[in-house]
Amino acid sequence: MRVLVISNMYPSKQKPYSGLFVVNQVNEIKKQLPDANIDFFYLKRSFTSKKGTVLKYLFFAVRFLKYFFKPKYEILHVHYYFPTIYLAIFYKKLINKKVNIIVTFHGGDYYMQDVKSYIYVFPFQFIDKIICVSKNLGNHLSKEFNIKEPIILSAGINNIFSPPNHFVKKKYDLIYVGSFYTQKGFDLFCKAVNLCKNNLSICIVGSGYLENNITEIHSIHSIKLFKNLTQEQILPLIHTSKYLINTSREESFGLSMAEAMASGTPVIATSTDGSQQQVRDSKNGFLTVDKSLESIAKTIDFALSLGSEDYDTLRQNAIIDGQKQNVNSIVTRLNELYREIDISKSVNR
């Protein structure tokens, strides 16, 4: 079996978290399928202008040409549908018309693009299997493009995310992990915490163009900002935080929520496709009533008022639910899909 994984998401110095889950997934695939030939072609993400983005993708396409001269692949697995899917189509048209194309939809392109435009819709006819990282995202695609039963499979979280094996004192009330973007609701987070009743200790991990919004918090709360941390460096910060907060406006899954829960830290989140799949309100975390600042602040205040017994129940449920997204189990199911395709091709030869 020869598989080429294609992704326009890959960590870089500017965006150390971008596509890290794809890297973890590919590494686990190689472990579980040692006899298969698994290649990985990727684009490192960085902050660029519109012109820079166009040039970046042109160079990305040029670099892809080297795979035209390698032994033929049976499977192309594309992460992040648009515009990466076009590389797979070019390969199918020019090199191997029988290649199977699998696409994992992570949601970002769906939320941001004009999904009814021809350039976005056209590639669907070439896709053999569609994977969506959440059920709600799958429902959107099914309704929009008449897709029957997309496979629901998250990208999976790194094995390192697990509860501490000893007592850890909570240092922070909240931890935010992610990009400082409008879609991620970083501005909502910065404004909402200022409406909370008490002074909070807050850990912020990430980077992005809304970083200046942090100044709104400093005068009221205690803030600790970390940039460009590895997952190993983030883990102890999660362990020492009472809650992870996610205030996204749109989120297809949100791996940081699964990582926190698997590590024993419950989640406070606005209602999105991703949080609805993961967060069971008042069971393993809390969902806000809506995305208003008042609702977010009220939910934070309530969560922090819980007694130790109720909090521990929340924590234990979070661990159970979060560990279900472990990359080992996710990749086991993904490899079953690869094998089904490989066996099917062998039978049809």
pLDDT of residue 348: 55
The model's pLDDT over 90-132, given as tens digits with 9 standing for 90+, comes to 999 999 999 999 999 998 888 876 667 899 999 999 999 999 9
The model's pLDDT over 123-164, given as tens digits with 9 standing for 90+, comes to 999 999 999 999 999 999 999 888 888 999 998 999 999 999
pLDDT of residue 51: 82
pLDDT of residue 131: 96
Residues 6+ apart with CB under 8 A from 308: none
The model's pTM is 0.90
Residue 219 confidence class, pLDDT cut points 50, 70, 90: confident
Mean pLDDT of 289-314: 97
Instruction: Name which residue leads in pLDDT, 344 or 64.
Output: 64
Q: Do 2-156+327-348 and 172-323 show the same overall fold?
A: yes
Q: What is the mean pLDDT of the chain?
A: 92
The model's pLDDT over 15-37, given as tens digits with 9 standing for 90+, comes to 777 788 999 999 999 999 999 99
List the domain boundaries for the chain: 2-156+327-348, 172-323
- Confidence check: pLDDT of 226 > 90: yes
Share of the chain above pLDDT 70, in %: 95
- Closest CA relative to residue 286, chosen from 331, 317, 249, 309: 317
pLDDT of residue 228: 81
Fold of 172-323: Rossmann fold (3.40.50)
Instruction: Name which residue leads in pLDDT, 279 or 108.
Output: 279
pLDDT of residue 147: 85
The model's pLDDT over 229-244, given as tens digits with 9 standing for 90+, comes to 889 999 999 999 999 9
pLDDT of residue 98: 95
pLDDT of residue 153: 95
pLDDT of residue 46: 65
The model's pLDDT over 184-212, given as tens digits with 9 standing for 90+, comes to 999 999 999 999 999 999 999 998 899 99
Instruction: Name which residue leads in pLDDT, 314 or 227.
Output: 314
pLDDT of residue 346: 52
The CATH H-level superfamily of 2-156+327-348 is: Glycogen Phosphorylase B; (3.40.50.2000)
pLDDT of residue 47: 62
- Confidence check: pLDDT of 14 > 80: no
pLDDT of residue 13: 73
